[in-house]
């Protein structure tokens, strides 16, 4: 009965009801979308690297080590000697290591020198591996494997020769002209900094700097034989990643590395550092959360306002309902039903448009902001949010409902004009 | 069958706002009775506690002093919810104007009392009865109109049909003709009273138009029974 009246009454005030539903739907969509993007951005960020237990570099800033090793931002002050690396990785508690050598760039994209361990062991977003779209991993001195974004933006394909630049600034004027590299593979998109980097092996890094000991090319011709892998001696790397056989040993290993005697080293736990870093930049997400909360509040207020303003013009209707046997309680429930109906429909349409929105902005977010969103069903958290919105909306209906209840007690069967 | 539909003894009523203040007495009725099946004209110009009186009879206002018995229910002895049920199931009520819920159609307006009170019109097909009433009251041609598009005369007839649906024991009409012109008034009175002839419900008709008393067996003036 009340359902019927609720439905009819809402239908009667189609336009205002529609506006209410629209404002709830919009705010629900906005709220949930911001939530998803927020979580997507955080997960994308903290999952840039996974499985790696420790990142080791020369002593310096912890954040700096994380930034240059994982995000290819900034640069190291000191390097690690190759024999230190060789010694450390022999430790039997170590499962694998990935060496990283940095310092050069290609048209603004960082050059990362590593070895086959990177392609075999590096993991991101849980258990995702670095895959190649085409080609093979760089094993020869002048092999290069490029990130998908680099390939796309610079329109590069397999077989293209490229000249790397010395230093990491995009306006680098010193080029490694004498040591052209050749693209042998393209890495599949990862939505991580890998996409915007150029991968060579450690031999290539060493080879292109032959004769550059002073920081600039000496100009003296280099015997091509020296570029052969067996003739190259790798002397240093920038940092390396470590995976231990047992996670229990992480803290112990970290302490050992921090106190390494032969040169000053430092180890960080990437999972922890990423979280710490996210917290420092995470105030943006809190602001976003607050803003979306405010929008939600406005949506709920719109229901309150629309119902409350309608109460006076509906006094007559309430007296009629009273005359045919409705109790004041009936009048109260009628209004509560109306507000909850509006909120329920609003929430439903909000969720539907959320998925529609995600469906369309997903590729764009992925390619422009490396925010990876899956079209997953509503999470428990989101269901709780929706329940909260439903309760808040129904509570918003309480105020006009109480007003109508009081009116109906006061008016009885007397119709106010 | 001849037990009274309304029996009032020594009723005193005032709007008690708070315990401390003594509110002026609005109603003081020593004795008032309407028998079952009787049609009574209650002459009540405004200012004599008319709406208070009707609200009490309909069980919306609660009384403390004296006895009000409606359809064999001592109103002060039953709860508000029971009074709401009594009204919904057994009393038809017609207002002076704006009787209809604007967002319901004619038929929905008519059957609404039976929807709110499941016991009203129990055992009869209310949809059939609604159709009959629409026909007798000459509303068939307007059935598809919005109730807000009906003339006032038509609206009052829909209101009468709503009061009649489910065969209530009593109908209270509160100035139902005061917004109607002469012709519409006559038409309305004839329709209402022919229904009364058919069904013999108790009819309490309140108006300030003294000329209408000729339609009734008995005329009572509120100013006479209300001894304030």
Q: Is residue A278 part of a domain?
A: no
A148 and A250 in a single domain? The answer is: yes
| Mutate which: A1, A325, A410, vs B, most B CBs within 10 A | A325
Asked whether residue A203 falls in the same domain as residue A316, the answer is no
The DSSP annotation for chain B comes to --SEEEEEEEEEEE----SSS-PPEEEEEEEEEEETT-EEEEE--TTSSHHHHHHHHTTSS---EEEEEETTEEGGGS-HHHHHHHHHHHEEEE-SS--S-TTS-HHHHHHHHHHH-TTTTTTS-HHHHHHHHHHHTT-GGGTTS-GGGS-HHHHHHHHHHHHHTT--SEEEEESTTTTS-HHHHHHHHHHHHHHHHHH--EEEEEES-GGGGGGSSEEEEHHHHB--
Interface with chain A: mutation pick from B73, B112, B148, B165, highest number of A CBs within 10 Å:
B112
Of B88, B103, B113, which has the smallest distance from its Cβ to A11's Cβ? B103
Tell me what pLDDT residue A379 has. 86
Pair A362, A256 in one domain = no
A194, part of any domain: yes
Tens of pLDDT, residues B131-176: 888 888 888 888 888 888 888 888 888 999 999 998 889 999 888 8
Rg (CA), chain B: 18
Considering chain A, what percentage of its residues have pLDDT values greater than 70? 98
Q: Which of A17, A323, A328 to mutate to test the interface with B (most CBs of B within 10 A)?
A: A323
- Which of A319, A324, A415 is the closest to B113 by Cβ? A324
Between CA B49 and CA B26 the distance in angstroms is 6
* pLDDT tens digits for range A233-289: 899 999 999 999 998 999 999 999 999 999 999 999 998 998 888 888 778 878 888
Phi, psi of A12 (to 5 degrees): -65, -40
Q: Which of A12, A317, A414 sits opposite B51 (nearest CB)?
A: A414
Q: Are residues A260 and A301 in the same domain?
A: no
Residue A100 falls in which region: left (phi positive, over 0), alpha (psi -120 to 50) or beta? beta
How far away is chain B from the Cα of A23, in angstroms, using its nearest Cα? 24
Contacts of A417 in chain B (CB under 8 A): 98
User: Number of Cβ pairs closer than 8 Å across A and B?
Assistant: 75
If asked whether residues A204 and A335 sit together in one domain, one would say no
My answer on whether A58 and A38 are in the same domain is no
Per-residue pLDDT tens for B27-54? Answer: 888 888 888 888 899 987 777 788 888 8
Residues A124 and A30 in one domain: no
Given A268, A293, A319, the domain boundary residue is: A268
Nearest-5° angle of CA A62, CA A65, CA A71?
125
∠A19-A23-A29 over CA atoms, to 5°? 140
A41 shares a domain with A84: no
Number of domains in chain A: 2
pTM higher than the cut 0.90: no
φ, ψ at A195 (rounded to 5°): -60, -25
Q: Is residue A276 included in any domain, yes or no?
A: no
Whether residues A84 and A197 fall in one domain: yes
With beta carbons less than 8 A apart as the criterion, state whether A68 and A238 touch. yes
Residue A273 lies in a domain: no
Whether the predicted pLDDT of B23 surpasses 80: no
Chain B contact residues (CB < 8 Å to A): 51, 54-55, 58, 60-61, 80-81, 84-85, 87-89, 93, 95-104, 108, 112-113, 115-117, 120, 162, 174
C-alpha of A197 from chain center:
18
More confident residue, B16 or A131: A131
- CA B84: distance to chain centroid? 14
Q: Please give the pLDDT value at position A308.
A: 84
The answer to whether the Cβ–Cβ distance between B98 and A12 falls below 8 Å is no
Length of chain A: 417
Distance from CA of A277 to the nearest CA of B (A): 59
Q: Are residues A250 and A296 in the same domain?
A: no
Nearest-by-Cβ selection for A325 from B55, B89, B95: B89
Considering only CB atoms, A414 lies closest to which of B55, B81, B97, namely B55
Strands B65-70 and B4-14: antiparallel
Mean per-residue pLDDT for B61-83?
A: 86
Residue A12 lies in a domain: yes
Closest chain B C-alpha to A19 CA, distance in angstroms: 18
Fold designation for B4-225: Rossmann fold (3.40.50)
Write out the E strands in A204-324: 236-237, 239-244, 265-268
Q: What is the pLDDT of residue B2?
A: 60
Q: Do residues A241 and A332 share a domain? A: no
> By three-state DSSP, how is residue A18 classified?
helix
Which of A7, A324, A410 to mutate to test binding with chain B, by most B CBs within 10 Å of its CB?
A324
Q: In which domain, by residue range, is A368 found?
A: 2-45+283-411
ipTM of the complex: 0.88
In a domain, A335, yes or no: yes
- Considering only CB atoms, A316 lies closest to which of B58, B85, B98, namely B98
Mean pLDDT by 10 residues, chain A (417 residues): 78 84 89 85 83 93 91 88 93 94 91 94 90 90 92 92 84 80 93 91 90 74 81 91 93 93 93 86 82 86 84 83 85 87 91 91 77 80 90 87 83 70
Closest CA to A324 of B111, B177, B194: B111
- Looking at A244, A268, A292, which one is the last position of a domain? A268
Q: Does the beta-carbon distance from B113 to A1 stay under 8 Å?
A: no
**Cβ contact B61–A321 (<8 Å):** no
Neighbouring CB atoms inside 10 A of A19's CB total 15
Cα B107 to the center of its chain, rounded Å: 20
Q: What percent of chain B has pLDDT over 90?
A: 6
Closest approach of chain B CAs to the CA of A298, in angstroms? 28
Kindly state whether residue A275 falls inside one of the protein's structural domains.
Answer: no
pLDDT for res A415: 67
Point out the domain boundary residue: A268, A294, A325.
A268
Tell me: do A106 and A250 sit in the same domain: yes
CA neighbours closer than 13 Å in the CB half-sphere of residue A416: 12
């Amino acid at each position: 009965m009340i359902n019927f009246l609720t439905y009819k009454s809402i239908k009667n005030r189609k336009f205002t009801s529609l506006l209410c539903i629209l404002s709830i739907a919009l705010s629900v969509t906005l709220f949930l979308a911001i939530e998803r993007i927020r979580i997507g951005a955080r997960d994308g960020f903290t999952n840039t690297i996974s499985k790696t237990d420790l990142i080791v570099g020369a002593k310096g800033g912890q954040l700096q080590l994380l930034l240059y090793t994982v995000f290819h931002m900034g640069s190291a002050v000191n390097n690690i000697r190759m024999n230190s690396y060789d010694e450390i990785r022999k430790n039997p508690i170590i499962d694998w290591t990935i060496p990283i050598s940095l310092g050069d760039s290609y048209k603004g994209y960082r050059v990362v020198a590593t070895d086959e361990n990177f392609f075999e062991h590096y993991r991101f977003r849980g258990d995702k591996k670095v895959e190649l779209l085409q080609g093979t991993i760089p094993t020869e001195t002048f092999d290069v494997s490029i990130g998908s974004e680099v390939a796309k933006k610079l329109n590069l394909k397999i077989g293209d020769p490229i000249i790397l630049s010395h230093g990491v600034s995009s306006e680098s004027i010193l080029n490694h002209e004498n040591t052209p590299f050749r693209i042998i593979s393209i890495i599949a998109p990862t939505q991580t900094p890998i996409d915007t980097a150029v991968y060579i092996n450690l031999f290539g890094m060493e080879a292109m700097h032959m004769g550059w000991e002073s920081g600039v090319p000496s100009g003296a011709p280099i015997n091509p034989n020296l570029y052969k892998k067996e003739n190259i001696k790798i002397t240093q790397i920038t940092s390396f990643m470590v995976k231990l056989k047992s996670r229990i040993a992480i803290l112990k290993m970290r302490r050992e590395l921090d106190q390494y005697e032969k040169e000053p080293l430092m180890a960080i736990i990437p999972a922890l550092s990423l979280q710490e870093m996210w917290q420092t930049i995470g105030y943006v997400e809190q602001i976003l959360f607050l803003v979306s909360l405010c929008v939600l509040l406005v949506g709920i207020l719109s229901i309150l306002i629309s119902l409350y303003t309608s109460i006076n013009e509906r006094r007559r209707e309430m007296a009629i309902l009273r005359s045919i046997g409705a109790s004041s309680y009936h009048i109260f429930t009628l209004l509560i039903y109306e507000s909850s109906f509006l909120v329920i429909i609003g929430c439903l349409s909000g969720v539907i448009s959320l998925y529609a929105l995600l469906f369309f902005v997903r590729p764009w977010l992925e390619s422009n902001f490396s925010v990876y969103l899956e079209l997953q069903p509503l999470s428990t958290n989101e269901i709780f949010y929706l329940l909260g919105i439903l309760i808040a909306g129904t509570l918003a209906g309480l105020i006009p409902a109480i007003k109508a209840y009081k009116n109906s007690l006061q008016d009885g069967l007397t119709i106010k004009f | 069958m001849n037990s009274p539909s309304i029996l009032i003894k020594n009723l005193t009523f005032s709007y008690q706002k708070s315990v401390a203040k003594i509110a002026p007495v609005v109603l003081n009725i020593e004795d008032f009775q309407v028998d079952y099946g009787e049609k009574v004209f209650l002459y009540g110009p405004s200012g004599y506690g008319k709406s208070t009186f009707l609200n009490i009879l309909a069980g919306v206002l609660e009384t403390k002093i004296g006895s009000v018995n409606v359809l064999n229910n001592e109103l002060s002895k039953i709860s508000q919810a029971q009074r709401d049920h009594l009204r919904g199931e057994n009393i038809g009520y017609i207002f002076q104007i704006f009787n209809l819920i604007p967002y319901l159609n004619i038929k929905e307006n008519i059957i609404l009392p039976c929807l709110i009170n499941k016991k009203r019109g129990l055992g009869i097909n209310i949809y059939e009865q609604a159709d009959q009433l629409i026909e007798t009251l000459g509303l068939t041609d307007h059935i598809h109109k919005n109730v807000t598009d009906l003339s006032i005369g038509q609206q009052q007839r829909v209101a009468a049909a709503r009061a009649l649906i489910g065969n209530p024991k009593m109908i209270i009409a509160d100035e139902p003709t005061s917004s109607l012109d002469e012709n519409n008034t006559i038409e309305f009175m004839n329709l209402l009273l022919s229904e009364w002839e058919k069904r013999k419900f108790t009819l309490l008709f309140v108006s300030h138009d003294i000329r209408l008393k000729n339609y009734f067996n008995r005329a009572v003036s509120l100013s006479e029974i209300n001894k304030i």
